[in-house]
Homo-oligomer: A and B are copies of this chain.
Amino acid sequence: MSRTFSFGALARRPEAGAALGLFAVLIFFAIFGGVTFLKPSGMASWLNVAANLGVIAIPLGLLMIAGELDISVGAMVPFGAMTVSVISGHYGLPIWMGIAAALSFGVIVGLVNGFLVIRTAVPSLIVTLGTLFAVQGIVLGLTVLITKSTSVALKTEGVAKVMFGDFVLGGQMQVMVLWWLGLTALYVFFVHLSPFGNWVFAMGGDKVSARNAGIPTERLTMVLFVLSSTSAAFVGMCQAILYNSAQVAGGQSFIFNAIISVVVGGVLLTGGFGSVIGIFFGTITFAIVTQGIYYTDFDRNWSSLIIGVLLLGAVLMNNTFRKMALSYAPKKGGK
Contacts and interface: CB of A to CB of B under 8 A. Distances in A.
Interface of A: 116, 120-123, 125-127, 129-138, 140-141, 144-145, 256, 259-260, 263, 269-270, 299, 301-309, 311-312, 315-316, 319
Contacts of A269: 123, 125-126
B263 A305 contact: no
A301 B137 CA distance: 7
A121 B268 CA distance: 11
A144 B121 CA distance: 46
Main secondary structure of the interface of A (DSSP, over half): helix
A120 B319 contact: yes
> How many copies of this chain?
2
B130 A312 contact: yes
28 contacts: A120-B316, A121-B319, A122-B319, A125-B269, A126-B259, A126-B269, A126-B311, A127-B315, A129-B256, A129-B259, A129-B311, A130-B308, A130-B309, A130-B315, A133-B305, A133-B307, A133-B308, A134-B308, A134-B312, A136-B304, A136-B308, A137-B301, A137-B305, A137-B306, A140-B301, A141-B299, A141-B302, A145-B301
A260 B129 CA distance: 8
Nearest to A307: B133
Q: Which of A126, A137, A144 has the most CB of B within 10 A?
A: A126
Nearest to A72: B308
Contacts of A305: 133-134, 136-138, 141
Contacts of A303: 137
Nearest to A71: B256
Contacts of A133: 304-305, 307-308, 311
